[in-house]
Amino acid sequence: MFVHNLASPSQVGQGGLTRRWREHVTETEYRARRAMTTFVIRRLMQAVMVLFATSLIVFVAVYAIGDPLEILLPSDASETEKAQVARSLGLDLPLPVQYGRFLWAALHGDFGNSFVYNQPAMTVIFERLPATLELTITALLMSLLIGLPMGLWAGNRPGTMVDESIMTGSILGFSLPNFWQGMMLIMIFAVWLGWLPSTGRGEPGTIFGITTSFASWDGIRHLILPAINLSLGNMAVIIRLTRTGVQETLPLDFVKYARARGLSERRILMVHVMKIILIPIVTVIGIEFGTLVAFAVVTETIFAWPGVGKLIIDSISALDRPVVVAYILVMVTLFIAINLAVDVAYSLLDPRIRSRAT
């Protein structure tokens, strides 16, 4: 796009130049693509190393915390039962052997069975992941749809009452402890007003064979409070980011030119300024999404939301090692994938970064 605008062949209109331009573009594009491919491959290799290291650290860490047998067995279990369980779960083997077995099976796609549920760890996790994704995606959308306009509004009218109240509100948004805020939401909307339910997912509906809260009114009602609780902190971040972006961009020359051309303030803000400030926001959203999935645990606990956050806390208390290890590997993979996607998207959005890559 960049090159095309500066030296379009139709402007130059000479055969030789056109050919040179073509060669030039092909060469640049080729190099850019190759750079991108190398970049992606290198990142994937790093990802494999990270996953390997994570699995080792988590495996050893969970082993070091305590003995799952102490927790799994009832308090009147005998030594016979203890030995039987240790044998059947493979806990009687030395740690390196246990890890070796885990690694070998993991390379074949088997991450072991949960000690507690006796189901494949991945099944246990993926059974609960959709509920968490639903919650986090809703929270993310809410924080975007509310945070972005509020930030634009505040940034466009700095120093006014509106700006002051939005900024004060956003300070509350990320400084209130999540669990306390959740309890307040429950007290107000579920206990006093009785408008919204506060526990569980209700009766989710089914669309195209997928069970989701979005498909039934009851499901949506159950989703509202936890999603608000999860989105408030994020919303505050987006408001502040947008406001700063707007304030930094408005004094720039291109805005003055746009004004001089007689464009409406509305168009300047919504189209031209927006384009510039969206780039950092996209990056933040990518990172925040991963964080929301991984740390939805507080909200899930308070609202008894059957997601992975609750699972991981329970699994750590029960020292259910296969689930803990598999969960962390899934989360690491998610973070790596999001980061990669953000980096790629970033370079696609911003021509300057793309040209730097070559």
Partner 1 sequence: MKFLRRTALAALLAAAALPAHAADLTIGRASEQSSIDPQFSRTGNNQMTATMIFGRLADFDENLQMQPGLAESWKNIDPLTWEINLRTGVTFHDGSPFTADDVIFSLERTDEVPNSPAPFTDMVSAIGAMEKLDDHTIRITTNVPAPTLMEDIGRVFIVSKAATDGMTSDDFNSGKAAIGTGPYKFLSWSPNESLKLEGYDGYWGDKPDFKDVEIRFISNDAARVSALLSGAVDLIDAVPPEDIGWFAKTEGMNVVSTASGRVIYLGLSMREDQAPGVTDLEGNPLPENPFRDARVRKAISLMIDRELIVDRILGGSGIPAGQIGAPGLGGHADVLGPDGRDVEKAAELLAEAGYPDGFGITLSSSNNRFPGDADLVQALGQMLARGGLKVNGVEALPYNVYSKAATNGDYGAFVFSLGASTPTTAPLLLSLLHTYDKDAKKGSFNRVRFSDPEFDAALDVAMQEFDPAKRNALLADATVNVFAGEPVVPLYWQKVHWAMKAGLSIKGGLAEATLPQAVEKAE
Interface ranges with partner 1 (CB under 8 A): 65-68, 70-82, 84-85, 88-89, 113, 115-119, 124, 127-128, 183, 186-187, 190-191, 194, 197-201, 301-304, 306-307, 310-311, 314, 316-319
C-alpha to C-alpha distances, 111 to 133, 294, 322, nearest whole angstrom: 22, 19, 7
**Cα separation of 247 and 264, whole Å?**
18
Q: Would you give the DSSP letter of residue 207?
A: E
Q: Would you give the DSSP letter of residue 186?
A: I
Closest to partner 1 by CB, 128 vs 354, is 128
**Cα separation of 308 and 346, whole Å?**
29
What is the nearest approach in angstroms of partner 1 to the Cβ of residue 322? 11
What is the nearest approach in angstroms of partner 1 to the Cβ of residue 36? 41
- Check: CB of residue 282 under 8 Å from CB of residue 347: no
Tokens coding 256: 């003055």
Closest to partner 1 by CB, 201 vs 243, is 201
**Helices 274-294, 121-156: crossing angle, 10 deg rounding:** 150
What is the nearest approach in angstroms of partner 1 to the Cβ of residue 219? 12
What is the nearest approach in angstroms of partner 1 to the Cβ of residue 292? 19
Closest to partner 1 by CB, 124 vs 144, is 124
Closest to partner 1 by CB, 152 vs 323, is 323
Closest to partner 1 by CB, 54 vs 199, is 199
H or E element that contains 341: helix 321-349
206 bridge partner residues: 211
What is the nearest approach in angstroms of partner 1 to the Cβ of residue 215? 16
